[in-house]
Amino acid sequence: MHPLDNPVWSSLVGPHHQLAEGGDLVARYPPEVSHFGGFPEPPEPRHWEALEELVGPGGVLIVTGHVGDPPAGWGVEYDGVGIQMIGVHLTATPDEVVARRPEVEVVALGAPDAADMLDLVALARPGPFSPRTWELGGYVGVRRDGELVAMAGQRFHPEGWCEISAVATHPDHRRQGLGEHLVSVVTAGVAARGETPFLHAAADNTGAVRLYEAMGFTRRRTVRFVATRTPGDGSASPTPTLPPVHR
């Protein structure tokens, strides 16, 4: 199986293994980092049983790939299709990308910026983003008068690959190419360390797909994203912001 056929599982048993909760049948990120989890494909009843035990009653987890349908008694909070795109031929260096927009000051984002990142996500709704998602690394942004108005970073990390994610621009600062520029900055950083960038775009977001194609990304496959809730009382497990792919 290609690592991008099951990118969450490939990440959790690969470069992100230190973050993984679970075992051989199922694994997930800590919810405060990401609401994604996965299991080997295709899942069997024992995998769903292990997932229910790991997540707990009424817990929400987003899975992707050839997952089939959750067992009877499970809830489905979201079920959608995304386009997986890869940047095999994107080779610009970080310095070359920065030189394209010298008037845009790009800053690294981390723990001190976490609250501002959550505020921007609430406005732009790029997909699931938890209080510690920034720990997945590579986050950069643009500030205007101190306000964070655009950002992008990294999420899944299969061996040799790295996903560009959480591309968000404040509604008052769109149509300035900030999101595109930040995607290029993160992409260049991924390529500079010898890995290949990839990303996901909602299948019905044709504008985003066209933009990424214009940037040099190519379509690889369609991907199903399912946010599923385990049986039981879910009052303590709120549904993460959806949809789980780029807008």
Are both 200 and 89 inside the same structural domain? yes
Reference 216, options 67, 64, 88, 41; nearest CA is: 88
Write down the pLDDT at residue 67.
86
Q: Please write the tens of the pLDDT for every residue from 185-207.
A: 999 999 999 999 999 999 999 99
Same domain, 78 and 89: no
CATH of the domain at 200: 3.40.630.30
Rounded to 10°, the helix 178-192/206-215 angle is 50
pLDDT-flagged residues of the chain (< 70): 234-247
pLDDT of the residue at 236: 53
Q: What's the domain count of the chain?
A: 2
For position 26, what pLDDT does the model report?
96
Q: According to the model, what pLDDT value does residue 247 have? A: 45
**Its pTM surpasses 0.95:** no
Please tell me the predicted confidence (pLDDT) of residue 164. Answer: 97
Rounded Cα distance, 160 and 108, in Å: 23
Q: What angle do CA 133, 137, 142 make, to 5 degrees?
A: 90
- Asked if residue 243 is part of any domain, the answer here is no
Same-domain pairing of 76 and 90: no
Same-domain status, 107 and 128: yes
> 76 and 19 in one domain?
yes
Q: Are residues 88 and 78 in the same domain?
A: no
Burial class (CB in 10 A: 0-12, 13-18, 19+), 163: buried
Domain for residue 39, yes or no? yes
Residue 133 and residue 166 share a domain: yes
Distance CA 54, CA 49 (A): 9
Residues contacting residue 84 through CB under 8 Å, at least 6 positions apart: 4, 7, 198, 199, 200, 219, 220, 221, 222, 223
CB 126 within 8 A of CB 183: no
Determine contact, residues 160/124, Cβ cutoff 8 Å: no
Rounding to the nearest 10 degrees, give the CA dihedral for residues 207, 82, 18, 25: 180
Residue type, 105: E
